[in-house]
A and B are shown apart, each in its own frame.
Chain A
Amino acid sequence: MTKPKVADLLNEPGCEHNHKKGENGKNKACTQQAKPGAAQGGCAFDGASIALVPITDAAHLVHGPIACAGNSWGSRGSLSSDATLYQLGFTTDISENDIIMGCEKKLYRAIAQIIDRYNPAAVFVYSTCVTALIGDDLDAVCKAAKAKFNTPIIPVHSPGFVGSKNLGNRLAGEALLDHVIGTAEPEYTTPYDINLIGEYNIAGELWGVLPLFEKVGIRVLSKISGDATYGEICYAHRAKLNVMICSKALVNVGRKMEERYGIPYIEESFYGIADMNRCLRNVAAKFGDRALQDRVEEVIAEETEKLNIALAPYRQRLKGKRMVLYTGGVKSWSIVSAAQDLGMEVAATSTKKSTEEDKAKIKELLGKDGIMLSKGNAQELLRVIEKTNADMLVAGGRNQYTALKARVPFLDINQERHNPYAGYVGLVEMAKEFDRVLHSPIWEQVRQPAPWE
């Protein structure tokens, strides 16, 4: 990865973070480096994997020592409706000897063997810190292998030490822009073709949303990259509209596709009634087709009615329950909106990774008493929960034990979770989970002192 490219991605103009630059002309959130002495989130390689591994019929080969793939393979929550190749862990597992002798030949042979045995639609090759440091020429090896085996071999320049998970997402996006998008044509196109970008089908969330698009007559041409085939990403450039879901992470893909192919993009969320409604309406409005807009209104009316019946018992039980929300970016407000749909209150939410635009929305949603958390280590979260007298913590898996060990009810909202919360059906699922967690009889037991205490 060349330095200028990383700097470009950090200054991505499509990213709202960059509209409020600090004194030195650089934004804070995107260039944020991990600090020594803390436990930090994932690295750029982690971020690149999150964005690309959901491509189900590709092989994902990690070029590095065992830590990068060995400690992480097979643990992503993206589901597939068909191919399972993406679930396998491939790594060159380089040894001391490889480092001394150079590992490019090994990498080439690794690609050859994967193609021979697994016949993948494509091979994504990820560089890591060690192979970047010793200067392996990833591009050259991938190019040679591609020519020899007549299979797309995509280099992903994602050594962990270039930055955070977020930057890794964008590096993955660059790989798609440089090597994949625009390399094939779809069988046919329709006037209502869209791409969904930045939705990874965690716990099968997409499957709660795709039927809605189908119902109103919108075709999802390519998913980038939840439950995607390699082939569908190749022809993503033929869509009429890019819908960016719940993430600034792949915003470079949306912006550059606009530049290169003239495809406009909009940013939407699938969480909660209000957001799901808005998403469908905005997509229809972009097409400007009256009939389509009418169909959207019909579907919204129908779904809302069904939803009101399904949610009625939960709304009663969840009314007035208070949560502290700790998550990133768009989710910091989209989940707020979903919670309010259920009659719950958000006492505090995180704004650590939020843009100014996100923050404005949060302020509007929370009202004057809502607390915006700019930092959130475990102790800080527990302090806020205590101070606000909140009933539960809603956060990513990393904070699960922060809450549980403090005997505080917890719901996982991030990528490792097992329940789909997107779309109308997802909201019912979320309500069920809130109810189950908050009204469990266990809390009394774990808080109960022993008779001799």
Chain B
Amino acid sequence: MATITRSKKPVAVNPLKQSPPLGAALAFLGLKGIVPLFHGSQGCTAFAKVLLVRHFREAIPLATTAMTEVSTVLGGEDNIEQAILTLVEKAQPQLLGLLTTGLMETRGDDMHGILKSIRQRHPELDGLPIIFASTPDYKGALQEGYAAAVQAIVTTDYGTPETTEVDPKQVTILAGSLLGPGDVAEIKEIVAAFGLTPLMIPDLSESVDGHLDDDYNSITPGGTSLQELQQLARSRFTIVMGESLRPSAIALQEKFGTEFAVFPNLAGLSAVDAFLWQLAQLASPTPQIPAKYQRQRRQLQDAILDTHFYLGGKKVAVALEPDLLYQTATMLQQMGIEIQSAITTYKSPILKELPCENVLIGDLEDLEDVATGADLIITNSQGKRLADKLHIPLYRMGYPIYDRLGNGSRCLVGYRGTMQFLFDLGNIFIELGH
């Protein structure tokens, strides 16, 4: 049980947070044929784009309503309309993801009213779902924006499917912001190995995984498609990955009656065990685990034995968003590592479950103040400066990661990903001669 404290400072120094609109855009990028559209000034899009491009080393399609001082005063309807029409003409998207920013939330545009009147004026947009998420910059961080977008994705109406009959093999997977594209790919492979069909919301593994297409894309080249979204009603069960997406599962339950289970973490032996057992029970009345994963489980146990010499008794300072912090800290604790300090971005019900005494909602200056004495720091690339200053090695997780390659394929969940994580950490300590 952890006590949650909030930094009382009037200034954030070296913020750990990114903005909620960026998180929402990220979630939208896991849908096929979409362009996330920021309702704000051009800079809101430009900064988010630069960050995502540098993190994934990919072209990222993002657009702006390009609000100016004057249009802000007058209201954004014209700009939204023009932006949507331009995107439809130039990029022919199958879906649009519209999200607000701090500027437009402060101004207070009536987004639902605006969208309604644009639809009335433009019946040609009838076949184009516009997924709308309200994401003021001043409330929350990346994870909260991502969760708001997922909520918008599952509550948007995509038209009536041919049948709403439940498909006994289809399982909706709500993939939280703690999962990168490589993690999502691993989860899909695991689910499919049980003979189930995963309906991923969203699916970053087919858009920002880093692959070379034949043609230039001005919309996302892959991800969950409109046709798949229309099948949401048919899932027999929802698996939620990350506490932050629980409200989306509740929304699905209210809308379609789909039962759900929340898995706050997908790494570490017992967490993966629980996930696989859930899948086995969904797959068959006589639950069985595929031989491949039984084997991987034994490999992970062996890896735990091999790495515990290097990891046991170590102290680690962790600064990550709530869901990823919980997953990481829990796994570390299970290896006999002490959470020397924990910093996060925003409040969340999962924080009190953390395996440490305190967690601070703060920034990287706070981390710098408390990390002295830690054997390792885990945070994003922005922690490099303080890690160097304190002479403590840095293991990069979260967003952004600018100075490491492979963010599109890195996998740290499942038995295999857990093994990778343990080896990565063990190797750091071996290198240092600890």
A interface residues with partner B (beta carbon < 8 Å): 33-46, 61, 64-75, 84, 87-96, 98-99, 106-107, 109-110, 112-114, 129-130, 132-134, 159-164, 378-379, 382, 397-398, 400-402, 405-407, 416, 446
Contacts and interface: CB of A to CB of B under 8 A. Distances in A.
B47 interface: yes
B212 A405 contact: yes
B254 interface: no
Contact of B46 (A43, A94, A110, A113): A43
B402 interface: yes
B385 A35 contact: no
Given A74-B14, A75-B402, A160-B41, A405 B68 contact: no
A73 B19 CA distance: 12
Given A39-B46, A112-B10, 10 more contacts: A36-B79, A37-B37, A40-B42, A42-B43, A43-B41, A65-B102, A67-B48, A71-B51, A75-B402, A416-B54
Contacts, number: 222
Contact of A67 (B54, B79, B137, B385): B137
A5 to B, nearest CB: 12
A422 B30 CA distance: 41
B204 interface: no
A289 to B, nearest CB: 45
Nearest to A72: B47
B138 A36 contact: no
Most buried by B among A37, A88, A96, A379: A37
Contacts of B212: 405, 407, 446
B67 interface: yes
Interface of B: 9-15, 17-19, 21-22, 37, 40-51, 53-54, 57-59, 61-69, 72, 79-80, 82-87, 90, 101-103, 106-107, 136-139, 141, 212-213, 216-218, 382, 385, 402
A316 B57 CA distance: 32
Contacts of B83: 36-37
Nearest to B82: A36
Contacts of A129: 40-41, 72, 102-103
A99 B216 contact: no
A89 B15 contact: yes
Most buried by A among B13, B14, B54: B13
A94 B49 CA distance: 22
Nearest to A92: B11
A430 to B, nearest CB: 23
B48 A71 contact: yes
Contacts of A90: 11-13
Nearest to B62: A39
A66 B141 contact: yes
A176 to B, nearest CB: 21
Contacts of A40: 42, 45-46, 64, 66
B59 A405 contact: yes
Contacts of A379: 216, 218
10 contacts: A40-B42, A43-B41, A74-B14, A99-B138, A109-B10, A129-B102, A160-B44, A161-B103, A397-B53, A405-B59
Given A38-B86, A75-B54, A159 B69 contact: yes
Given A65-B137, A161-B69, A110 B11 contact: yes
**Residue of B48, B83, B216 with most chain A CB atoms under a 10 A cut-off:** B216
A71 B50 CA distance: 9
**Most chain B CB within a 10 A radius of its CB, from A34, A64, A446:** A34
Contact of B68 (A66, A75, A161, A416): A161
A110 B59 CA distance: 37
A110 B10 contact: yes
B216 A382 contact: yes
A92 B10 contact: yes
Contacts of A70: 12, 15, 17-19, 141
B10 A34 contact: no
A90 B22 CA distance: 19
A450 B415 CA distance: 32
CB-CB nearest 4 A-B residue pairs: A43-B43, A37-B86, A67-B19, A110-B11
Contact of A113 (B11, B47, B86, B90): B11
A247 B48 CA distance: 25
Contacts of A397: 50, 53
Contacts of A68: 43, 47
Given A36-B86, A43-B46, A379-B218, A89 B19 contact: no
Contacts of A91: 11-12, 15
Given A33-B66, A36-B64, A39-B61, A93 B12 contact: yes
